[in-house]
Amino acid sequence: GMDSPVAGNGVIRGVAAAVKAARPHVRVVGVQAAGAPSYYRSWKSGRVVTTETADTIADGLATTRPTEANVVAVRELVDEMVLVTEDEMRDAMRLLLSSDDVVAEPAAAASVAALLQATGAHDRPVIALITGRNVAPGRNP
């Protein structure tokens, strides 16, 4: 499977399209902040669902109004969507820093947070996509 943060810029749309074209059997899992669930709710319902607020430390996931084209594409390409909490993203940021010397912003750590959330053994290789720009000053895990 592949975990990828879902932001308003359609990163998962491009990644999922490429993955499915190359390896159709790969399971693609989208990850969204629980405090900004518009894409999660849109994926679940198959139509654009907006939220009043996007309350999350993950700036890259703070979407209140998904685009219809992205909702359609993500629904078609993404096999599952999961939500991660603020604490789970902070824990993933700390783990990445302590175990791998990777400084990841909350949106980038969301995929690892989802991986940590998934209990049980994985019978196939799993890739957690860690993407993003930077960690804003003062944003410590």
Give the pLDDT confidence of 34-62 residue by residue, as tens digits: 999 999 999 999 999 999 999 999 988 88
Residues 6+ apart with CB under 8 A from 112: 3, 92, 95, 96, 104, 128, 130
Would you state the structure tokens that stand for residue 102, as one six-digit string? Answer: 């990777």
Give the phi and the psi of residue 103 in degrees, each rounded to 5: -90, 110
Give the pLDDT confidence of 27-38 residue by residue, as tens digits: 999 999 999 999
| Run of H or E residues at 139 | none
Give the phi and the psi of residue 102 in degrees, each rounded to 5: -105, 120
Compare 106 and 7 and report the one with higher pLDDT.
Answer: 106
Which pLDDT score, from 0 to 100, does residue 12 have? 85
Give the pLDDT confidence of 113-130 residue by residue, as tens digits: 999 998 766 778 888 888
Which pLDDT score, from 0 to 100, does residue 5 have? 52
